[in-house]
Amino acid sequence: VITTRLLFLFVSDICGTVPFGMAPEARIIGGTVARRGAWPWQVSFQFLDDVVYTMYCGGCIITNYWVLTAAHCFNGKLRVVAGVHNIKHPEATIQISNISLKSNWSFDAKLRYHDIAVVRLATPVAFNNFVQPICMTTDYSRLDFLNCHISGWGVTTTSRWNAPSEMLRTHVFQPWCGDSGGPLQCSDKTGNYYLVGITSFGRGCAEKGSPGIYTRVSNYKDWVDDFIKAHPVRNFTANFLILLFLTIISDLLLYILRCRPT
């Protein structure tokens, strides 16, 4: 376990992998409960309702500082929760962060055009077996996808607003109330998952015969990459550790010089 965690910490180009060899299980309207850790890039956007945070939208980790979601999800004060499976009874693996920066691509709220937002976390997530990034690409034509899933904590019935506490997934490509911003994720022959779409909207809550609408992520990957490059994250932790190391070495050398017999 320690070796695996160290690998996640130091190899940043690992993406779209499911830990422990767990085959994902389902969740959503008509979905079933997902296995814990089956979708480690899935995050929960929660808004502050008076004094309690409430599940509002989903999102997807692309780096330790950056998350993608739907632009229409932003309403009031939000926080991002990663590594969570049961939102009513959070596990010890959860990581909570506030939002320090957000941008969307000229979002049209009326027509829902460009329903995508890139979000920078105030504090980075630490990659482990329950928190990992998903892969992205601008060319899906070269990939032979075998399975596609959507996941989230949206309502599981259309008869009443009854959001589940545990994460769900399903093969069905219709968005559910409360699952906006969550990923449409597809796996290739290697088993790696790619972010193909972001859940945007549909008629009602997955009504029969009504199509689900997703934002095609490949169309925006260059914009996402450019935005992230234009807003680099200062690594205060690394700078602090370097300064601390140099200070200790300097003090140690001074101590040796002072204690050296004359």
Catalytic residue among 72, 97, 187, 188: 72
Catalytic residue among 44, 97, 151, 180: 180
List all residues 6 or more positions away from 192 whose beta carbon is below 8 Å from its beta carbon.
Answer: 15, 16, 17, 135
Give me 72's structure tokens.
């229409």
72 classed as catalytic: yes
> For residues 43 and 84, what is the distance between their CA atoms, to the nearest angstrom?
7
222 classed as catalytic: no
| 233-236 long-range Cβ contacts below 8 angstroms, 24+ apart | 233/65, 233/120, 233/124
Burial class (CB in 10 A: 0-12, 13-18, 19+), 6: exposed
Catalytic residue among 115, 151, 179, 187: 115
180 classed as catalytic: yes
Query: Which are the catalytic amino acids?
Result: 72, 115, 180
